[in-house]
Amino acid sequence: MNVDHENKDTLPYLGPDGKYTPSGSPTSVRWLRETTTDSLAKLRATGAKVVMLEPTPVAPFNPLDCLSASTYVEECRYIADQRPVSLETDYRDLDRRSEDVWSVDMDKLVCPFFPICDPLVDGEIVKWDASHLTTAFVEAMAPQLDDYLRQSDILPN
């Protein structure tokens, strides 16, 4: 499958019909909005407090492949689109409407010099493809995420 990585809103996902659908299409936006709202209602009905992690910046190429083929790490640096995708704006709207729902923007954890994104942060490879974080990077950034959640009063201090 050819994927247009130039625009993070066009990355495909497996849609409600079991077929790959471009993100950002009317069908995908509607489906993600409905399933997010339904899931959130079910979770909140149990008394749960919900933290939604917003999508992180998507690279216009595979950073891991780039690192494998490059001489210099800087060759794999990219500028992230600063505009929020529809899912981010939906999460933020749901956050504003409820005291027990939070939307967490991790862009500056993933790209400390946001909108500049480096393929390595503190010696860890950030992504294994255009959009997915490596396990090692997630484990390394966990203390920073914990600090963020505590400073934002999402987790108790």
What does the pLDDT profile of the chain (157 residues) look like in tens digits?
333 334 444 455 566 667 777 777 788 888 889 999 999 999 999 999 999 999 999 999 999 999 999 999 999 999 999 999 999 999 999 999 999 999 999 999 999 999 999 999 999 999 999 999 999 999 999 999 999 999 999 999 8
- For residue 157, being part of any structural domain is answered with no
Residue 68: the pLDDT is 95
Residue 31: the pLDDT is 86
Which residues contact residue 118 at a Cβ distance below 8 angstroms, ignoring those fewer than 6 apart? 73, 76, 77, 111, 112, 126
- For residue 23, being part of any structural domain is answered with yes
- For residue 33, being part of any structural domain is answered with yes
Residue 12: the pLDDT is 57
- For residue 2, being part of any structural domain is answered with no
- For residue 106, being part of any structural domain is answered with yes
128 is in which domain, residue-wise?
A: 8-151
Residue 24: the pLDDT is 74
Cβ burial, residue 31 (10 Å; 0-12/13-18/19+): middle
Structurally, how many domains does the chain consist of?
1
- For residue 12, being part of any structural domain is answered with yes
- For residue 22, being part of any structural domain is answered with yes
